[in-house]
Structure 1
Amino acid sequence: MREQDLTVIKSRTLMLKNGVRSSEVLLADPKGGDSYLTFELKHVGENDPGITDWTVTDSHHAAFIIDVRPNAITRPVAPICIGIYGANNVPLYLGFVVQPQIGDTGEHEVTITFYTGKEVTDGSNKQ
């Protein structure tokens, strides 16, 4: 799935340090129930593959851990399908860009973007 094929529903920028969980990010969904999501960065070595992992606590809470190299820009190859959204249960996707900050703060600027997939008329979701 490409970003161009999706619809942006929310974008938020966070300042995060390695190993420190963000406050909850609210993803409002009046038809399907709001979601409360947290994000955390985990530094990995220069040659380690980075992954994004998440733990779902219940149908409205999840915690994401994003592997990053301390001095590199990190983003997924394609948006990650993380569930469904809205009354029509369209696919919900997560994208992000993690940029290290100049200086010795240890902070990273993390832009989180939520997308929905487009519906198709036969009632199925096109992926």
Structure 2
Amino acid sequence: MTDLRWGEAKDFFDPDSMGALPDLFVPDATVEDWQTVLDLVRACGWQWQYSQGDTVGPLPTAAEVFARTPEAETVSLRVWPVPGVLAIFWFWRRPRSTSMSTFGNCKVKWASTFSATF
């Protein structure tokens, strides 16, 4: 895939012309793939909020997320890569998805569920 710039793709995220974005699921994402996502969020300086159930906390490593017990509450990571775009990542028990995109100069390896609000 060639590098895609936000200016070239932003119209695809316009709720007036495109509606809501679908959830994305791509099988076989590894813990390492998830760590790439977490590293990207940190490196790009994007606003984020990590939650386990209703508890907001610091961003852990992917290994820590997937080491949780089966009874642990659902984990999500909300990321605002650009103003007006919210990507929500759901950390399922088994890592399951990945897809490529780019915002500005940061390549994004999206994982699991991607949702957007404007």
**Fold shared by both chains (TM-score > 0.5):** no
Tell me which interval the TM-score lies in, with the shorter structure as reference length.
0.3 to 0.5
Flag the structure with higher strand content: 1
The structure having more radius of gyration, on CA atoms, is 1
**More helix by percentage:** 2
TM-score normalised by structure 1 residue count: 0.34
* Larger relative contact order (CA 8 Å, sep ≥ 6): 2
